[in-house]
């Protein structure tokens, strides 16, 4: 067996785990590990400009590939700077392993330089965290971290590594375990067959069914089974913000997104349904609106890998705890066995109703204006120029909702946003993580001028590693979503929602060595985007001045039912 230092064990373990890229930032407590990185070439390290961005890069990679992203940072501020990124991944169930340097074990608890209790600080926002107590534990701990991060309901795992655990002169036997088993952790592998059968019967007996699909369908690899289910039953499907792409957005059964800024038809259908089948979604408050008024006539089936999600906010009738892919496979088998067909008469009446809601175009933007650029139109143009096939990341705010509503995602893992935590500054580094590992794909970050400035320093990282992604800035010269809420709820008192003294973005990105473009006029929009996306080997930052008065609609009315919505500034349901 090989004798290795703790630091070399880390790089060997990562290589043996099949990790190609890690994202990080060096510092005192991590320097033994950085030296080990220097002396090998299997694991490539990407140096970011701020640790938060390293975590979002790992996150973007994880969301696009389904594999855990890996981060390496030093102790103290290096570690605490990762917290927002870790919490982002935790809320959206994204697999991730974060290696944090720590002061030597002999100094822990003595308020040493760059000492922070990272185990304590990270505890509420991780799936698990572990501290290394002896260098020989490193391979098994890393294997455990990947196993925990990627299995069950995925999530981030932090490993706290005191500097003396990686000392170059202390060597121990190294072998990377093929498998680990934890007696206290066994994620579910199959759903309960009786419950699945019950769900199948309810599906066949429903008269006004809706399938409500969440991010779990994408994470759980169940998109094909979901698509097959929707098609075999001819049932409508709506996706959550996290679930966009789980069923093709341009598919005929798609009602689009549901919830606070969901489509008129999706929210109407949910409200009037007699059966809601939730798959890999968690009845988030941004979906349900007032929980006491949620889908009053519906029985509810809930498929989720996390039993704690069952009946957490909404009481469900038939819970099925298990991985989405296996549950859906079993559900298809149960439907085969029952060999029934839904009530076709009821179903066509239901579709007729839905088509009526669709035809109403509730909450859609006014596409007729020529004197300003509507942000929704920018997203539709982006969809056209990228043929609907790009990886789209976003930050948080109006631009995020416009992108979710108007870029019809037909494939899973293409829509990458901080859905649960709502982290501004997520989009650019997430796009970098994707572009790095998908160099031949179009990767575009849709952002706002508030969000982009939260991690704009990463344009420098993009230059260093030659990441020719695209940034599409919907510039409304304000913190648009905050301003919208102030317009609607605070009599337009725009308290601190304006970004005065915005930089000249074109000059700024040029100074980082990239290409900047500005769009002021509607008739320049498409041609500019065409030009930008034709520049395959350049990062192009497109600053589009959009209508600053535009709001995101529909918008659910707080505490109401699913279908209580503002449709525009003056009309509501």
Shortest Å, Cβ 190 to another protein:
18
The first and second tokens of residue 367, run together, are: 């596409």
Q: What is the DSSP letter of 475?
A: E
Question: Which residue, 140 or 306, has its beta carbon nearer to another protein?
Answer: 306
State the minimum distance, in angstroms, from the CB of residue 148 to another protein. 6
Query: From CA 19, how far away is CA 42, in angstroms rounded?
Result: 8
185 binds another protein (CB under 8 A): yes
Smaller CB distance to another protein: residue 45 or 127? Answer: 127
Q: Is 471 helix (H, G, I), strand (E, B) or coil?
A: strand
What is the rounded distance in angstroms from the CA atom of residue 538 to the CA atom of residue 459?
12
Shortest spacing between CB 430 and another protein, in angstroms: 26
**CA atoms of 484 and 494, how far apart (whole Å):** 9
Read off φ and ψ for residue 396, nearest 5 degrees. Answer: -130, 130
- Contacts of residues 305-313 at CB distance under 8 Å and 24 or more positions apart, as own/partner, are 305/152, 305/153, 305/187, 305/188, 305/216, 305/220, 305/280, 306/152, 306/153, 306/282, 307/188, 309/282, 309/283, 312/282, 312/283, 313/282, 313/283, 313/284, 313/285, 313/288
Of residues 32 and 127, the one with the C-beta less far from another protein: 127
The nearer residue to another protein, 60 or 155, going by C-beta atoms, is 155
The nearer residue to another protein, 187 or 560, going by C-beta atoms, is 187
Stretch that binds another protein, among 22-30, 179-187, 422-430, 448-456 (CB under 8 A): 179-187
Q: How far is the CB of 119 from another protein (least distance, A)?
A: 6
Residue by residue, what is the 3-state secondary structure of 210-227?
Answer: EEEECHHHHHCCCHHHHH
Out of 119, 314, 327, 552, which residue is the one contacting another protein (CB under 8 A)? Answer: 119
Note whether 181 binds another protein by CB under 8 A: no
189 binds another protein (CB under 8 A): no
124 binds another protein (CB under 8 A): yes
3-state SS of 297-330? CCEEEEEECCHHHCCCCCCCCEEEECCHHHHHHH
CB of 76: closest distance to another protein in angstroms?
Answer: 19
* Pairing label, strands 171-174, 2-5: antiparallel
Determine if 311 is a binding residue for another protein (CB under 8 A): yes
By annotation, the residues acting in catalysis are 51, 113-114, 163, 481
Residue 123 sits in the site that holds another protein (CB under 8 A): yes
- Give the range of 107-115, 183-191, 197-205, 354-362 binding another protein by CB under 8 A: 183-191
Q: Does 306 bind another protein (CB under 8 A)?
A: yes
Nearer to another protein, 34 or 147 (CB): 147
Does position 179 bind another protein by CB under 8 A?
A: no
Q: Are 212 and 258 in contact (CB under 8 A)?
A: yes
* Position 183 contacts another protein (CB under 8 A): yes
Given the rule CB under 8 A, which of 7-15, 304-312, 523-531, 535-543 is the region that contacts another protein?
304-312
Quote the CA–CA distance of 356 and 98 in Å, as a whole number. Answer: 49
Of residues 194 and 307, the one with the C-beta less far from another protein: 307
CA gap 171, 327 in Å, rounded: 46
Q: Is residue 558 within the footprint of another protein (CB under 8 A)?
A: no
Cα three-residue angle 569-373-443, rounded to 5 degrees: 110
415: part of which helix (H) or strand (E)? strand 415-416
Stretch that binds another protein, among 62-70, 188-196, 309-317, 423-431 (CB under 8 A): 309-317
182 touches another protein (CB under 8 A) = yes
85/319 with CB nearer another protein: 319
By the rule CB under 8 A, 148 interacts with another protein = yes
Using the rule CB under 8 A, is 312 a contact of another protein?
yes
Q: Say whether 8 sits in a helix, a strand or coil.
A: helix
- Kindly tell me which of 146 and 505 has the beta carbon lying closer to another protein: 146
Nearest to 459 by CA among 529, 533, 541: 541
Q: Using CB under 8 A, which of 120, 168, 194, 297 touches another protein?
A: 120
The span of 121-129, 437-445, 458-466, 520-528 binding another protein (CB under 8 A) equals 121-129
Which residues touch 251 (CB under 8 Å, ≥6 apart)? 227, 230, 237, 410
**Closest distance of CB 281 from another protein, Å:** 17
Q: Which helix (H) or strand (E) holds 24?
A: strand 21-24
Least spacing, CB of residue 128 vs another protein, in Å: 5
Pattern 474-513, binding to another protein, x per CB under 8 A? ----------------------------------------
| Contact in structure between 434 and 441 (CB atoms under 8 Å) | yes
Q: Does 307 bind another protein (CB under 8 A)?
A: yes
Q: Which residues pair with 27 in a beta bridge?
A: none
3-state class (DSSP) for residue 110: coil
Residues in contact with another protein by the rule CB under 8 A: 119-120, 123-124, 127-129, 131, 148, 182-185, 306-308, 310-312
């Amino acid at each position: 067996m090989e004798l290795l230092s703790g630091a070399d064990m880390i790089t060997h373990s990562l290589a043996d785990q099949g990790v190609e890229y890690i994202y990080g930032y060096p510092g005192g407590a991590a320097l033994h590990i950085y030296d080990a990185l220097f002396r090998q070439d299997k694991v490539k390290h990407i140096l970011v400009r701020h640790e938060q961005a390293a975590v979002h890069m790992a996150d973007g990679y994880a969301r696009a590939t389904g594999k855990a992203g890996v981060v390496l940072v030093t102790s103290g501020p290096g570690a605490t700077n990762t917290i927002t990124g870790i919490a982002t991944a935790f809320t959206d169930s994204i697999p991730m392993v974060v290696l944090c340097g720590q002061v030597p074990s002999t100094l822990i608890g003595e308020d040493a330089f760059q000492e922070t209790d990272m185990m304590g600080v990270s505890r509420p926002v991780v799936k698990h965290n572990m501290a290394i107590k002896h260098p020989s534990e490193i391979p098994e701990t890393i294997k455990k971290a990947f196993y925990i991060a990627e299995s069950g309901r995925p999530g981030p795992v932090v490993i706290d590594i005191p500097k003396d655990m990686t000392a170059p002169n202390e060597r121990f036997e190294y072998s990377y375990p093929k498998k680990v088993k934890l007696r206290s952790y066994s994620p579910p592998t199959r759903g309960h067959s009786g419950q699945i059968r019950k769900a199948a019967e309810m599906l066949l007996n429903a008269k006004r069914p809706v399938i409500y699909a969440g991010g779990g369908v994408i994470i759980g690899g169940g998109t094909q089974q979901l698509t097959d289910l929707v098609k075999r039953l001819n049932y409508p499907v709506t996706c959550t913000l996290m679930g966009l792409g789980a069923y093709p957005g341009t598919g005929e059964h798609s009602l689009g997104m549901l919830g606070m800024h969901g489509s008129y038809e999706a929210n109407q259908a949910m409200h009037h349904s007699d059966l809601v089948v939730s798959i890999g979604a968690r009845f988030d408050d941004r979906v349900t609106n007032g929980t006491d008024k949620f889908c009053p006539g519906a029985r509810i089936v809930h498929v989720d890998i996390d039993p704690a999600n069952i009946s957490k906010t909404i009481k469900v009738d038939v819970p099925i705890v298990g991985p989405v892919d296996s549950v859906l496979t079993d559900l298809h088998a149960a439907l085969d066995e029952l060999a029934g067909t839904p009530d076709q008469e009821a179903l066509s009446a239901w579709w007729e109703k839905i088509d009526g809601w669709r035809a109403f175009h509730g909450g859609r933007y006014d596409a007729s204006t020529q004197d300003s650029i509507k942000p929704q139109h920018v997203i539709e143009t982006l969809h056209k120029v990228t043929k609907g096939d790009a990886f789209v990341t976003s930050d948080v705010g109006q631009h995020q909702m416009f992108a979710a509503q108007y870029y019809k995602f037909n494939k899973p893992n293409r829509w990458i946003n901080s859905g649960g935590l709502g982290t501004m500054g997520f989009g650019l580094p997430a796009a970098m993580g994707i572009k790095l590992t998908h160099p031949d794909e179009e990767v575009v970050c849709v952002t706002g001028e508030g969000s982009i400035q939260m991690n704009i320093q990463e344009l420098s990282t993009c230059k260093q590693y030659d990441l020719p992604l695209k940034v599409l800035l919907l510039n409304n010269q304000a913190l648009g979503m905050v301003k919208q809420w102030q317009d609607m709820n605070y009599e337009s008192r725009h308290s601190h929602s304006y970004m005065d003294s915005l930089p000249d973005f074109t000059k700024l990105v040029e100074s980082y060595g990239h290409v900047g473009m500005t769009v002021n006029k509607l008739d320049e929009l498409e041609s500019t985007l065409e030009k930008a996306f034709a520049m395959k080997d350049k990062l192009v930052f497109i600053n589009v001045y959009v209508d600053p008065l535009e709001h995101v609609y529909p918008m659910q009315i707080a505490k109401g039912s699913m279908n209580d919505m503002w449709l525009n500034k003056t009309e509501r349901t």
